Structure 1
Amino acid sequence: MFFIDTIEVPGLGNRGYLAGGAHTAVVIDPPRDVDRVIAAAARRGVRVAHVCETHVHNDYVSGGLQLARLTGAAYLVPAGARVAFRRVAVDDGDRVELEAGLALRALATPGHTPHHTAYVLEEAGDARAAFTGGSLLIGTVGRPDLVEPRLTGELARAQYTSAHRLAAELPDETAVLPTHGFGSFCSSAPTDGGPTTIGKERGGNEALVKDIETFLAGLAAGLDDVPAYYTHMSPLNAAGPAPVDLTAPPLADADEIAGRLAAGEWAVDLRDRAAFAEGHVAGSFNFEADGQLATYLAWLLPWGRPVTLLAASAHQLADAQRELVRVGIDRPAAAAIGSPVDWVRRGEHLRSFPHARFADLTVADRDVVVLDVRRDSERATGHIVDSLHLPVHQLRDRLGEIPPGTVWVHCAGGMRAAIAASLADAAGREVVAVDDEFAAAREAGLAVTAARA
């Protein structure tokens, strides 16, 4: 008998896996905070004998090297990947015996990266599960444009071929267990959480039901902006990430927070968006701890800029640190815990701005600016007539393009609007954060364009 446990990384839309038998396990694409993986192995009572990477990751810092060193496991990395550390180079067709009757077989699946490799878990010679990384996802495939723009066309064709290889060589009942595709920007299209099998994907995956030219055209049309921090992930992984330090950062008082802001550092308020709007430190930015904190903070933060985290509780701070090390934001410069009234110097006042619904916009003054901070692909599905479009990940550098007037900021649900509102507020603009589902705009009577064909 074998088992497969999923290591969820929901903030990044990824999954790692712990799989094995009665005594021995393999880990596929582990997150950087490997204590979670070690705890999962301890619960199973198994020894981690192998750690495998499907590819050198572009969207997060891997825990693979550190996990292999801590456990003494063999570290398997595709042979074509250029890395600066010792590892077991894996070629197409290589097999690893986990324990009696249980093996792992490497299957070259280039496309997401040139060296991408899937791993097939076999029991008594029969394929039970395929760990497909960024190759075959649920209903779609991984993006082919993250390595080098000039390779995108070549890798897109390779991705199509790899998906067909998996479908041709594996039985219908083989479980498909991808690393990306649950909100990850490494996915070429939105996906759900599964579960799925080769048989299900053969009947519904866009790479398997379309001819290659139709697939390639749709794939190219669906590629959206790449998070800026992705530029740094692959080099960090290829060099060999440093061990994680999750100890609490030094606590800062109001004077230190003010000094760090004056020096151009970032103060990131982790509280929920309603609490932030009601009162916050002037110049601080709101990235909710319960949202896609790591993705959006790493995307907007100038790389290497010191960060002070402002948290409602020690638990919230610790969770945020764990999220951020996964994208290379390793050590906050400082932190503060509690209430914003404790984070400002005596005599200074907190900033605030209104929260609203789309219905409130119908009775607002006519000279307001409606700012849509969704991505291009979202705006193409419909937008408020005469609204200004500045995607949230571009807003930091484009605040000067917002015309005079009170800025009503919206996204698809409220989280990104809160980020954008905090950026504009820190720049001295009068803002209103729309905390509402975009579908409510049309229901409220606002003029909304139809989706583009």
Structure 2
Amino acid sequence: MEVITIETPQLGDRTYLVHDGASGVVIDPQRDTDRVEKAIADAGVRITHVAETHIHNDYVTGGLQLAKDHGAAYLVNAADDVPYSRQPISDGDTVQVGTLTLRAVATPGHTHHHLSYIISDGDREAVFSGGSLLYGSVGRTDLVSEQDTVPLTHHQYASVRRLVAEADEDAGLYPTHGFGSFCSSGPATGADSSTIGEQLRDNHALTDQDEDHFVRELIHNLTAYPSYYAHMAPINKAGPTPPNLEVPGSLAPEELRSRLEQGEWVVDLRNRVAFANHHFSGSASFEYGDGTKFTAFLGWVLPWDEQLTLVGERQDIENAIRDLSRIGIDNPDAAIGSGPDELAPAAPTSSYPVVGWDEVLRKPEGEAILDVRRTDEYEDSRIEGAVNIPLHELLRRMDQVPAGRLWVHCGSGYRASIAASLLQRAGRDVVHIDAEFGGAEKAGLKMADD
């Protein structure tokens, strides 16, 4: 048995190709299946099955299309009501994939109908746990509904214990979520691999012998998650279409200027400091790059299902189109170039200052510091007197933003850059604090006592 991992670090998820050298199964494929197709071709195997652990909340699946393309059986929980053809699978069912045996294990908790899969090849086992057992923690349990959260958390506690009881301790563990995904909960580790035995020793869901304590602690520590999650399960249940990953032709300068003047969403992908120094008036800064969580924040912050125009270099636009397709944002338009002077020289431009913590120490008295981190981050540690409006709430809470000039910060500078651009777009005077939050106290800013 060979397990090939196809990572999607932008969303903190993994897809797996598992094969015996001739036949294989793909587990939890993302919508852009060309990456999976390459892995299949490189392995030289035939795909007989595609399996979903659950109807995903954080991305659009490519499972249905991949199964069609390969004439493969599409394994989806029999309890899920879907309109498309699939091979229903339930707890305890087994499927042969060449010499591999795949067994479904019901692991409700992340969702009601969540399945994990134990795949065996002779005396070797591998566990594919989706959003159930993660490295160091478990998948979050509050994505279905508020009223379901407590019972699902109890289910999650029981599910992961049942899963490890049915697997060998030396079995490799292969979760879908938990690599920076908002679908994880609790103290997830940064590990790149693990086994069932390691989780038995280290995972709080397995070491905490008090179920009620586990439930209370997990729910207490759940943080906000992206609003676009609400759209993922309906898309996946309906049966997603293949994405259009083609880069459109670049907009003419007059059309780009018209969209800015009409208040449409024009998203600038350039470096956040370059944006602050010179950008189209009315545009929004969503820097594209490794480690930025561009996809999650754009899908979380901007209104759903409104036309987007992406501004930036061709490679960034191409990558952004792919990333956005994974959360169901399709067919954005594009203005391809290095900046405003090239793309629409006659369009109005703006700028705002970018500073570090030393400059904040010298800010005029009475000008507000706006903290756009999540509420839990703010409550854990904050600058004395700072006002907290989380980035994902900013557009609907503009009327609560303090008057006057605003000094905007977050944990690293990335979210603050988005917030500063949105505030300026709304007519506010802003200063972008592009600095790690941990440096504020070191620079001499006073932190709140409580």
Which bracket does the TM-score occupy, shorter chain normalised? over 0.9
Maintained 8 Å contact 1:268/1:310: yes
One-letter code aligned to 2:155: A
Number of the residue aligned with 1:15: 14
One-letter code aligned to 1:302: P
Normalised TM-score (structure 1):
0.96
Maintained 8 Å contact 2:285/2:417: yes
Number of the residue aligned with 2:33: 34
Maintained 8 Å contact 1:51/1:75: yes
* Residues 1:233 and 1:65: Cα distance change in structure 2 (over 3 Å): same
Query: Shift of the alpha carbon at 1:254?
Result: 2.3
Aligned equivalents of 1:139, 1:68: Cα separation in 2: 32
Number of the residue aligned with 2:298: 297
Q: Is residue 141 of structure 2 the alignment partner of residue 144 of structure 1?
A: yes
Aligned equivalents of 1:214, 1:190: Cα separation in 2: 15
One-letter code aligned to 2:431: V
Query: Shift of the alpha carbon at 1:243?
Result: 1.3
Matches within 5 A, 1:383-398: 383-398=382-397
Q: Which of the numbers 199, 202, 206 marks the counterpart of 1:201?
A: 199
Aligned equivalents of 1:336, 1:366: Cα separation in 2: 42
The range that moved more, 200-209 or 182-191, is 182-191
Query: Shift of the alpha carbon at 1:190?
Result: 4.8
Aligned equivalents of 2:355, 2:403: Cα separation in 1: 20
Number of the residue aligned with 1:180: 177
* Residues 1:323 and 1:190: Cα distance change in structure 2 (over 3 Å): farther
One-letter code aligned to 2:306: R
Query: Shift of the alpha carbon at 1:331?
Result: 0.6
Number of the residue aligned with 1:336: 336
Query: Shift of the alpha carbon at 1:367?
Result: 2.1
One-letter code aligned to 1:154: P
Aligned equivalents of 2:144, 2:71: Cα separation in 1: 30
The range that moved more, 30-39 or 90-99, is 90-99
Residues 41-85 of structure 1, C-alpha deviations (whole Å, 9 max, x = no match)? 111111121111000001110010111111211110111112111
Matches within 5 A, 1:296-445: 296-311=297-312, 313-346=313-346, 348-445=347-444
One-letter code aligned to 2:326: R
Number of the residue aligned with 1:106: 104
Residues 388-429 of structure 1, C-alpha deviations (whole Å, 9 max, x = no match)? 000000011112212222211111111111111110111121
Aligned equivalents of 1:190, 1:374: Cα separation in 2: 19
The range that moved more, 375-384 or 235-244, is 375-384
Aligned equivalents of 2:116, 2:163: Cα separation in 1: 9
Query: Shift of the alpha carbon at 1:383?
Result: 0.2
Residues 193-234 of structure 1, C-alpha deviations (whole Å, 9 max, x = no match)? 331111111111111111101100111111122311111100
The range that moved more, 109-118 or 260-269, is 260-269
Number of the residue aligned with 1:123: 121
Number of the residue aligned with 1:171: 168
Number of the residue aligned with 2:211: 212
One-letter code aligned to 1:432: V
Maintained 8 Å contact 1:4/1:18: yes
Provide the secondary structure at the position in 2 that maps to 1:18: strand
Maintained 8 Å contact 2:284/2:421: yes
Aligned equivalents of 2:160, 2:124: Cα separation in 1: 16
Provide the secondary structure at the position in 1 that maps to 2:160: helix
One-letter code aligned to 1:147: V
Aligned equivalents of 2:356, 2:417: Cα separation in 1: 13
Aligned equivalents of 2:43, 2:409: Cα separation in 1: 45
Aligned equivalents of 1:25, 1:143: Cα separation in 2: 29
Aligned equivalents of 2:319, 2:363: Cα separation in 1: 38
Provide the secondary structure at the position in 1 that maps to 2:427: coil
Maintained 8 Å contact 1:373/1:410: yes
Number of the residue aligned with 1:258: 257
Maintained 8 Å contact 1:127/1:170: no
Provide the secondary structure at the position in 1 that maps to 2:416: helix
Matches within 5 A, 1:92-103: 92-100=91-99, 102-103=100-101
Aligned equivalents of 1:398, 1:190: Cα separation in 2: 31
Cα RMSD between the aligned structures?
Answer: 1.3
Unmatched 5+ residue regions in structure 1? none
Aligned equivalents of 2:225, 2:315: Cα separation in 1: 31
One-letter code aligned to 1:51: V
Aligned equivalents of 1:240, 1:317: Cα separation in 2: 26
Provide the secondary structure at the position in 1 that maps to 2:445: coil
Q: Is residue 20 of structure 2 the alignment partner of residue 49 of structure 1?
A: no
Provide the secondary structure at the position in 1 that maps to 2:349: coil
Aligned equivalents of 1:115, 1:262: Cα separation in 2: 47
Aligned equivalents of 2:47, 2:325: Cα separation in 1: 23
Query: Shift of the alpha carbon at 1:258?
Result: 2.1
Aligned equivalents of 2:299, 2:274: Cα separation in 1: 22
Residues 80-113 of structure 1, C-alpha deviations (whole Å, 9 max, x = no match)? 112111101111111111112x221111101111
Residues 259-295 of structure 1, C-alpha deviations (whole Å, 9 max, x = no match)? 2233332000011111111111111101111121111
Aligned equivalents of 1:245, 1:7: Cα separation in 2: 20
Q: Is residue 236 of structure 2 the alignment partner of residue 237 of structure 1?
A: yes
Provide the secondary structure at the position in 2 that maps to 1:150: coil
Q: Which of the numbers 150, 154, 159 marks the counterpart of 1:157?
A: 154
* Residues 1:407 and 1:190: Cα distance change in structure 2 (over 3 Å): farther
One-letter code aligned to 1:114: H
Aligned equivalents of 2:335, 2:106: Cα separation in 1: 45
Maintained 8 Å contact 2:335/2:343: no
Aligned equivalents of 2:54, 2:124: Cα separation in 1: 21
